[in-house]
Amino acid sequence: MAQLAARGRARLAGAPSARELAALSAVGLLLFFGAWYGVAASGWVPTRFLPGPQVVADTIARLAQHPYAGYTIQVHTLASLKRFGLGFVLAAALGVPLGLMMGWYRWLDDLVTPLFESVRFIAPIAWVPFAALWFGTGIGGPTLIIFSGAFPPCLINAYRGARQVDKVLLEAAQTLGAGGLRIIAEVLVPAALPSIVAGLRVSAGLGWQSLIGAELIVVSSGVGYLMVQGQTSLQTPIVMSAMVAIGVIGFVIDVALRALERTVRRSWGDQT
Amino acid sequence: MYRRDTTVAARLGGHRAGVWSRGRGNSRRLAFALAAAVPLLLAWYVLTSVTHTISPGRFPSPHEVFQAALQISRGNGYAGGTMARQVWQSSKLVLMGFAVAAGAGVPLGLLMGWSRRAEALINPAFLLLRPIPPLAWIPLAILWFGLGDVAKIFVIWFAAFVPAVINSHTGVRNVDPTLISAARVHGASPAQVVLHVLVPGALPMIFTGLRLSLQASWTTLVAAELVGALLGLGHVLIVASLDIYPGMILYAMIWVGIMGALMTKALALIEKRAIPWRS
């Protein structure tokens, strides 16, 4: 089947060799950096607004040694990661068990779903004013915003995973006398794990993005704050450096959870 | 690496539309929803207006929200305009940004799915930009384009473009090659294959991508308006926040939810029209 698919695709647009594809990828990268460098160097756009790749790299090196907006870029990054970790762990710790329990206890499902549905469409970032009002702008407020971004995928995927468990397994466990909590712990959790982990990955992405939003608006440290400071003082290189840092961390988080997902899938057998 | 990501997104997106609302009896659910909503609203009223357990500085009473709603719907409104004007401003920008991004993203995704060469050429740059969350483009957008509409459309474009590309790309890749070969055997030209086989085959995934795009557009716009704008729902939120005006904050949040829900429902309706064979 895979072979057939490969042949079909190859026929779609002639059959490019692996070497040709690699060369094209290199050309693509060169074009990207070349265009960036070219436009920056040409003087069409003032360097103030579009610094070249070299300038951004230099700025990152400088930010790593000299504090800007209070701290060096490493300290800002750590502050962001701390908030992210707290919000994400809270979302997973509440969302996953709640989702599983909703999958098992019907009354809970009927009670929570309408509530959840009615706030689901409020963008996480719209919680910023209340987050600041209730928990301040230190650690509590941003955590609430990350939480509101990261919570729904945790809940939805745990619920969905629990609902898709083979009925036979559930009935077998019940026949053998397992109670609700035991069924959740010993049948639903293992069976729903691939779905839960997939949800965690989506949730981490949304949480990281919400964190940046929170930092743009309410806090006084972190990469988002670094970015805003760069923006208000018209320092485009600093803004771009912070964007690079944000991208790199988001990428690392994603790779880590992807690895976790792969491990789970492999040891659980690919069920999807 | 690429494909797994989209299947997760697709599963989440597809799930939202389907399993969640079906699954269990709807009338029972409605009864439960009412049974939960009435005590909740009552508790809200009692705690804020009768016992004053919740201070008005933290969460508004129903009366305050009503007052805020009255204030913003009359005369000059609040934060630069009436609610109708603020909502119109935000929805207009989302639809414009979304249309531009979908118009560019879907064809690009189709092209990348269709041609391995195009994919190899475009993918590296795309993979470099992708980990940067759309919200992180906001400061740069303000530096480049100021506080006006152009900056917002620029940011929404980044938010909506990525899911549109990825899902169209995956959609084309997942089309059964047998169908393509069959069309070829019967003498279809490349253009006919694209138009009559690849696009319809990829359509469900394309719509999944569009739904994710639209949600991302809405979140990003509200964030962009919170950071810097002269009008719009996010602007109302931030002004109300600085004024410590919880009634207005809640009222604006309700509208953020309503508009988000309306746009998602509208897209679902279009999807039903476009892919009648799916449901």
Q: Which CATH number fits the domain that encloses residue B171?
A: 1.10.3720.10
What is the value of ipTM here, to two decimals? Answer: 0.82
Q: How many domains does chain B divide into?
A: 1
The pLDDT of A215-234, averaged and rounded, is: 87
The interface residues of chain A toward chain B in range 44-63, judged by CB-CB distance below 8 A, are 49
Q: What is the pLDDT of residue B6?
A: 40
pLDDT tens per residue across span A84-93: 999 999 999 9
The interface residues of chain B toward chain A in range 63-122, judged by CB-CB distance below 8 A, are 114-117, 120-122
Q: For residue B8, give its domain range.
A: 2-21+60-274
In the DSSP assignment, the letter for residue B189 is: -
Q: What is the pLDDT of residue A154?
A: 94
* Cβ contact B12–A227 (<8 Å): no
CA gap A227, B132 in Å, rounded: 13
Has residue B55 been placed in a domain? no
Has residue B247 been placed in a domain? yes
pLDDT tens per residue across span B47-83: 888 888 888 778 999 999 999 999 998 888 898 889 9
Across the A:B interface, residue pairs with CB atoms under 8 Å apart total 214
pLDDT tens per residue across span B214-267: 988 999 999 999 988 889 999 999 999 999 899 999 999 999 999 999 998 999
**Are B246 and B60 spatial neighbours (Cβ–Cβ below 8 Å)?**
yes
Which CATH code for domain A70-268? 1.10.3720.10
Instruction: Kindly compute the dihedral angle of the four CA atoms of residues B187, B191, B196, B197, in this order, to the nearest 10 degrees.
Output: 80
Has residue B28 been placed in a domain? no
The residue extents of the domains of chain A are: 70-268
Total-model pTM: 0.82
Confidence class for position B15, pLDDT limits 50, 70, 90: very low
Q: Which residues contact A246 (CB under 8 A, 6 or more apart)?
A: A212, A223, A224, A227, B132, B133, B136
Partners of A12 in the β-ladder: A14
**Are B244 and B57 spatial neighbours (Cβ–Cβ below 8 Å)?**
yes
Q: Out of A114, A115, A125, whose CB is closest to B223?
A: A125
Longest dimension (CA), chain A: 77
Nearest to B19 by CA among A96, A102, A50, A271: A102
* Cβ contact B135–A212 (<8 Å): yes
* Cβ contact B114–A22 (<8 Å): no
Length of chain B counted residue by residue: 279
